[in-house]
């Protein structure tokens, strides 16, 4: 009887060893996938894989949306924009981001110039750099030029 118990405990020892190792590696994989939610993990939000190309991250009340940026990305309240922001403080056609000579430019389209880049009011079309913060009315968009693979799981 004690022999059986001992044998069971011996196997349990090895099993627990592996339970921990598998757990550690699972956590590692989980963390790799969690890249992107890191930024703003809202309740019940699916984990967002970072798109490979340039994109905008819309940060809004504990949630986030990732929007791809193409050759021309219009931002505004109207439905014909690529990025639709249904807010009172956003103009019908507020701003646009376009690709020229391999660089993304941000241009303000509002009459009174209500677009900010990293906190400063825009003064004519401006080149966007990776990680720039674009404020359109009261909405904030983060511009990311490169995929976040290198900095996976960090912050």
Please give the Cα distance from 40 to 88 (Å, whole number): 24
CA distances from residue 13 to 2, 19, 26, 58, 127 in whole angstroms, order as listed:
16, 10, 20, 49, 60
Shortest distance, position 99 Cβ to another protein, whole Å: 14
Choice between 59 and 109, CB closer to another protein: 59
Taking the C-alpha atoms of residue 81 and residue 138, their distance in angstroms, rounded to an integer, is 17
Q: In this structure, what token pair is assigned to residue 39?
A: 């930024």
Q: Which is nearer to another protein, 18 or 79 (CB)?
A: 18
Tell me how far, at minimum, the Cβ of 125 lies from another protein, in Å. Answer: 7
Tell me phi and psi for residue 115, to 5 degrees: -120, 130
Rounded least distance, CB 129 to another protein, Å: 5
Closer residue to another protein (CB): 8 or 92: 8
Q: What is the rounded CA–CA span in Å between residue 33 and residue 12?
A: 31
- CB-nearer residue toward another protein: 81 or 135: 135
What residues line the site for another protein (CB under 8 A)? Answer: 2, 5-7, 9-14, 16-21, 23-25, 27-28, 31, 34, 38-42, 59, 62, 103, 117-133, 140, 142, 144, 146, 148, 150-151, 153-155
Terminus-to-terminus CA distance in the chain, angstroms? 54
**CB 78 to another protein: min, Å:** 25
- Give the nearest distance from C-beta 91 to another protein in angstroms: 19
């Amino acid at each position: 009887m004690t022999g059986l118990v001992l044998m069971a405990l011996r196997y349990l020892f090895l099993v627990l060893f592996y339970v921990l190792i598998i757990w550690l590696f699972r956590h590692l994989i989980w963390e790799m996938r969690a890249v992107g939610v890191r930024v703003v993990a809202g309740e019940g939000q699916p984990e967002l894989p970072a798109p490979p190309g340039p994109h905008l991250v819309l940060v809004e009340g504990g949630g986030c949306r990732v929007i791809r940026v193409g050759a021309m990305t219009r931002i505004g309240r109207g439905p014909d924009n690529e990025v639709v922001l249904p807010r009172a403080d956003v103009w019908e056609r507020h701003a646009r981001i376009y690709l020229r000579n391999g660089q993304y430019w941000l241009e303000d389209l509002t009459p009174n110039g209500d677009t900010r880049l990293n906190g400063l009011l825009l003064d004519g079309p401006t080149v966007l750099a990776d990680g720039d913060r674009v404020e359109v009315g009261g909405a904030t968009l983060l511009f990311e030029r490169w995929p976040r693979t290198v900095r996976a799981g960090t912050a």
